[in-house]
Amino acid sequence: MSADRRMLGSLALLAGPTYLWLLVTIFLPLMAMLYFSFLTIAPIAGPGGTFTLSHYVDIFTKPVYLINLKRSLIMGLEVTFFCALVGYPAAYLLARQIKNRWREALLLLVVLPFWSNALVRTFSWTMVLSDNGLLGQWLHVLWPGGPSLDLLYSYKAIVIGLVHAYLPYMILTCYVSLQAIDGTLAEAALSLGASHRQVFQRIILPLSLPGLVAGSILIFVPVVGAFMEPRVLGGQQGITFGTIIESQFTTSFNWPLGAAMGFVLLAVVLIVMALFFPLLRKHLN
């Protein structure tokens, strides 16, 4: 047996279980949901429905679905923007400015939200953003007779909760990219007369873009389909495409429509990413 064949056999032996697991846990359920999306009723506990395209037609013709799809996409872009606005400077300070003994402690604080339940974190914001919450009470103490700070059950509350939930992804991905940059490159540029702003614009930022892009993808994709944070923090303002999909599976038990909406959302996200891919490839190459 040649060396190439032995290498291919070793790779197949090592990677085979992983791809088999992905096939069983991801692709087969997706194919089942795709099949459900073309049926009139889901064949769960009775006879299967007939083939139809009405669910996809409804999604693209009824304004309620299109409006909430647009709203979810805008929400995903806004949350990604705010996460980058806060997360990239925080990652830069951690990677380039803070000493090692403090860096580990701050990284622990960044990872700490992952150790708590997401539902608990979301409900904790209801005690902060209401008028009688922590921020509202502090505002009344510092500014007696000031305006009411009642952000709960609003679109702003949803964005705040989502930024808090997904900010660690941006910080960690940017931190890894910034930490991998060779410090001698900046030192050489400074010794040749470049300013700190030029070093950041021409060296640090281009080399750290892969982490920024990875963090943006990790945030944008789940935020567009988020339903827990909008439902808890948004109240009547929390209707998004994700909450509609969730209600089709849990409340209306209309699995075919929910599956069709899920695949439409997946297609729209892939289209948005494809539109930005040439720009990203230009900066990453």
Q: What is the pLDDT of residues 266-278, one digit of tens each?
A: 998 888 888 777 7
Distances (CA, A) of 35 to 74, 175, 262, 265, 266: 29, 41, 12, 16, 15
Buried-state track 36-65, b at ≥16 Cβ within 10 A, e below 16: bbbbebbeeeeeeeeeeeebbeebeeeeeb
The answer to whether the beta carbons of residues 73 and 271 sit under 8 Å apart is: no
Closest CA to 80 of 260, 262, 234, 212: 212
**Which burial class, exposed, middle or buried, applies to 179 when counting CB atoms under 10 A from its CB (0-12, 13-18, 19+)?**
middle
Task: Indicate the average pLDDT of the chain.
Answer: 84
- At 36, the pLDDT band (50, 70, 90 cuts) reads confident
* Residue 9 pLDDT exceeds 70: no
| pLDDT band at residue 129 using 50, 70 and 90 as cut-offs | confident
CA torsion, points 114, 119, 123, 124, in degrees to nearest 10? Answer: -20
Q: What was the pLDDT predicted at 277?
A: 73
Residues 163 and 86 sit within 8 Å (Cβ to Cβ): yes
* pLDDT for residue 243 is more than 90: yes
**Over the stretch 182-205, which tens digit does the pLDDT of each residue have?**
888 888 888 888 888 888 888 898
Is the Cβ–Cβ distance between 218 and 134 less than 8 Å? no
pLDDT in the model for residue 2: 61
Give residue 98's pLDDT.
74
pLDDT at 46: 61
- Higher model confidence: residue 249 or residue 5? 249
Predicted pLDDT at 282: 63
Interval 162-182 mean pLDDT = 91
CATH of domain 56-284: 1.10.3720.10
- For residues 64-86, give the mean pLDDT: 94
Q: Measuring CA to CA, which residue among 120, 185, 159 is closest to residue 240?
A: 159
Q: What is the mean pLDDT of residues 229-248?
A: 89
Write down the pLDDT at residue 146.
Answer: 64
